[in-house]
């Protein structure tokens, strides 16, 4: 298949999967976007291309889940998250494309393992985290999101510890990552990871994002989530292996 066609197909898949994830179909989809793009472009470019797609997805998801968040959770996590973004911005400029590519592969595999563990621990008793652990998770989320657009696992762990209802879980995640992605813009720009032409590269795929959000909301109501997530985790794991061996 022509390489240009492959590039367009991967970008289209990334845009649709972003919307699907923002619509409420689980963190595995969001974590798949950057590793997926890294299969066709250098890791630094993949990270930069992901952000415009994520930002549009955030706008669509905010509209779909407006008011469904818990502001106290956002206020608690945001200060330490900003610290994580700053650390990530300092680190990412000193990493080689190969290192970033392998890092994305490791993140993909670790996240897959985390989701498998989460399933096995579904009935485990959750506890309220002490303040220092809350701040640690906020910092890790900001750092991982900045370096690889992969802050979902740590934030999910935090929300699980709070035992929030599903609607608040999704709504709070949407607002939190919308703010986090906006905060990352100057960090990416200063590190020359995000450039104006990247918005033009992915602009044609924007209509696929709200379509993905709508599909995510619809499927969330009718699809067997366990089966769907299993397929996504398999795809995430395969992507991670390919990135490590590439």
DSSP assignments along 207-235, one per residue: THHHHHHHHHHHHHHHS-HHHHHHHHHHH
The whole-number pLDDT of residue 26 equals 54
The whole-number pLDDT of residue 225 equals 60
Cα distance between residue 89 and residue 191, in whole Å = 7
The whole-number pLDDT of residue 149 equals 82
Cα distance between residue 209 and residue 13, in whole Å = 10
Half-sphere exposure of 50 (CA within 13 A, CB side): 32
As a whole number of Å, the CA-based R_g of the chain is: 17
The whole-number pLDDT of residue 185 equals 93
Distance set, CA 110 to CA 125, 157, 236 (Å) = 22, 14, 10
Tell me if 192 sits within 8 A of 178, measured CB to CB.
Answer: no
The whole-number pLDDT of residue 123 equals 55
Task: Name residues of the chain where pLDDT drops below 70.
Answer: 1, 25-29, 97, 100-101, 121-128, 220, 223-225, 228-229, 232, 246
């Amino acid at each position: 298949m022509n390489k240009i066609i492959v590039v367009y197909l991967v970008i289209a898949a990334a845009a649709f999967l972003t919307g699907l994830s923002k619509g409420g179909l689980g963190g595995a989809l969001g974590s798949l976007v950057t590793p997926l793009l890294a299969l066709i472009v250098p890791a630094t470019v993949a990270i930069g291309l992901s952000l415009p797609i994520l930002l549009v997805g955030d706008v669509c998801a905010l509209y779909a889940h407006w008011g469904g968040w818990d502001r106290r959770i956002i206020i608690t996590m945001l200060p330490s998250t900003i610290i994580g973004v700053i650390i990530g911005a300092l680190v990412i400029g000193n990493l080689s494309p190969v290192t970033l590519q392998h890092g994305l592969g490791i993140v993909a595999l670790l996240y897959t393992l985390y989701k498998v563990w989460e399933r096995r621990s579904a009935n485990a008793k959750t506890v309220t985290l002490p303040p220092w652990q809350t701040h640690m998770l906020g910092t890790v989320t900001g750092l991982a999101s900045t370096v690889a657009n992969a802050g979902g696992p740590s934030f999910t762990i935090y929300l699980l510890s709070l035992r929030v209802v599903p609607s608040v879980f999704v709504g709070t995640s949407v607002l939190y990552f919308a703010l986090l992605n906006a905060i990352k813009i100057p960090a990416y720009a200063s590190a020359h990871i995000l450039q104006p032409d990247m918005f033009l590269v992915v602009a044609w795929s924007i209509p696929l994002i709200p379509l993905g959000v709508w599909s995510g909301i619809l499927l969330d109501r009718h699809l067997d989530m366990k089966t769907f997530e299993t397929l996504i985790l398999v795809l995430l794991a395969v992507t991670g292996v390919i990135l490590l061996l590439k």
